[in-house]
């Protein structure tokens, strides 16, 4: 049994706004094992980014962790103050964001931005830091790394910049990497290469990755396990095979059948009606009920618990209850590759 590097226990995060409390993350529990890539999937506003920000304590001042525990490498960091977090951030945990240009400082050479992270967390000499910085550029697949070391970000293309950001994030050997839509702004060809790079780095360093994305195709390529979030809650979690070949939550069915890639040409796309809810006043029952064709009466009244589908696979839908009618998933998710 591989021990967990990150554990969230019943985590809830709320924002205080002038219109009331917005419950961005509601009662989320999950574990991330060492060397594992966990993908968090969901639409905008489902709480996937807030959840990762809560772990890194990068939340804005208007928000607070309402309940729950964050355990990193066996240590409860829920009540850590900024000073203690600074040691963790960049050291134990790192984050990569969507837009590399806003992450990087446009006036400082790439090399200096990488060594800054190294010097901050390790007691090393300047030369050693530089040596390690060049190693990092090499690790993320940047050629002529010594030359590139002294160039400013604007000399680099979008994909190269994202590689540089990765180099900074990985500079002081973190154990957990949060990648928040890290490939969304890139072209498909570049995206594919960055995904392969992440897999390669995981295999080389054994880092755990929380990969936040809305793109199910990308998730299929990279994830070992997948958690699907809706309205601040995890509605289904399991291995990639569980989620893609045997989804149980109607929201996941909806997401899958809305993909052109899984729909035959000439057939119309199945759409999920309506829009994701605003979390100002979340409905009492399953937040997805009003968009759900298969909603039961109880869905509107009571939140469904997590049902165990298999020891690796859990889904929060009343359809899993023994009293619920048996519904065949409206999608045939067979393996596409036939040989």
Exactly one of 220, 309, 320, 324 binds another protein (CB under 8 A); that residue is 220
Q: Please say which residue, 136 or 223, places its beta carbon nearer to another protein.
A: 223
Nearest to 147 by CA among 156, 171, 139: 156
- Tell me the closest approach of the beta carbon of residue 144 to another protein, in angstroms: 16
Give every strand in the sheet of 313-315, ordered side by side.
93-96, 176-180, 208-213, 37-41, 225-230, 233-239, 313-315, 307-310
Q: Please say which residue, 255 or 289, places its beta carbon nearer to another protein.
A: 255
As a whole number of angstroms, the distance between CA 221 and CA 301 comes to: 37
As a whole number of angstroms, the distance between CA 314 and CA 296 comes to: 19
Residues of span 75-134 touching another protein by CB under 8 A: none
Q: Please say which residue, 87 or 293, places its beta carbon nearer to another protein.
A: 293
Q: Please say which residue, 8 or 223, places its beta carbon nearer to another protein.
A: 223
Residue 200 interacting with another protein (CB under 8 A) = no
- Tell me the closest approach of the beta carbon of residue 192 to another protein, in angstroms: 4
Q: What are phi and psi of 259, to 5 degrees?
A: -85, 125
How many residues bind another protein, per CB under 8 A?
Answer: 46
Q: Which stretch binds another protein (CB under 8 A): 103-111, 126-134, 146-154, 251-259?
A: 251-259
Residue 306 interacting with another protein (CB under 8 A) = no
The tokens describing 95, both together, are 């984050």
Q: Print the binding letters for residues 224-243 with another protein: x by CB under 8 A, - otherwise.
A: ----------------xx--
Exactly one of 50, 96, 210, 255 binds another protein (CB under 8 A); that residue is 255
Place of tokens 């057939």: 267
Residue 143 interacting with another protein (CB under 8 A) = no
The tokens describing 207, both together, are 């880092």
As a whole number of angstroms, the distance between CA 329 and CA 319 comes to: 11
Number of CB atoms found within 10 A of residue 19's CB: 9
Cα(first)–Cα(last) distance of the chain, in Å? 34
With beta carbons less than 8 A apart as the criterion, state whether 38 and 211 touch. Answer: yes
Q: Which residues bind another protein (CB under 8 A)?
A: 43-44, 158, 187-193, 195-196, 214-221, 223, 240-241, 244-245, 254-256, 258-263, 265, 268-273, 275-276, 335-337
């Amino acid at each position: 049994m591989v021990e967990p590097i990150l554990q969230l226990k019943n985590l809830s995060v709320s924002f205080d706004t002038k219109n009331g409390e917005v419950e961005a993350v509601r009662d989320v529990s999950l574990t991330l094992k060492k060397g594992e890539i966990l993908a968090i999937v969901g639409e905008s506003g489902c709480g996937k980014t807030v959840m990762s920000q809560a772990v890194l304590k990068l939340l804005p001042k208007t928000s607070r962790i309402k309940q729950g525990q964050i355990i990193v490498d066996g240590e409860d960091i829920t009540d850590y103050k900024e000073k203690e977090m600074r040691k963790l951030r960049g050291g134990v945990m790192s984050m990569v964001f969507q837009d590399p240009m806003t992450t990087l400082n446009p006036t400082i050479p790439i090399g200096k931005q990488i060594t800054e992270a190294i010097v901050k967390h390790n007691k090393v000499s300047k030369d050693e830091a530089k040596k390690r910085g060049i190693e990092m550029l090499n690790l993320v697949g940047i050629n002529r790394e010594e030359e590139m070391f002294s160039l400013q970000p604007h000399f680099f293309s979008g994909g190269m910049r994202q590689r540089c950001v990765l180099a900074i994030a990985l500079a002081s050997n973190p154990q957990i990497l949060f990648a928040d839509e890290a490939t969304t702004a890139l072209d498909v060809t570049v995206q594919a290469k960055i995904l392969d790079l992440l897999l390669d780095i995981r295999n080389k360093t054994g880092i755990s990755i929380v990969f936040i994305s809305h793109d199910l195709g990308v998730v299929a390529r990279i994830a070992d396990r997948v958690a699907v979030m809706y309205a601040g809650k995890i509605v289904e979690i399991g291995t990639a095979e569980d989620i893609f070949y045997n989804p149980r939550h109607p929201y996941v069915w909806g997401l899958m059948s809305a993909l052109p890639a899984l729909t035959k040409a000439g057939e119309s796309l199945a759409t999920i009606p309506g829009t994701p809810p605003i979390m100002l006043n979340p409905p009492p029952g399953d937040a997805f009920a009003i968009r759900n064709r298969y909603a039961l009466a109880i869905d509107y009244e009571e939140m469904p618990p997590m049902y165990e589908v298999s020891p690796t696979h859990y889904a929060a839908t009343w359809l899993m209850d023994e009293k619920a009618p048996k519904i065949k998933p409206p999608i045939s998710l067979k393996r596409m590759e036939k040989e």
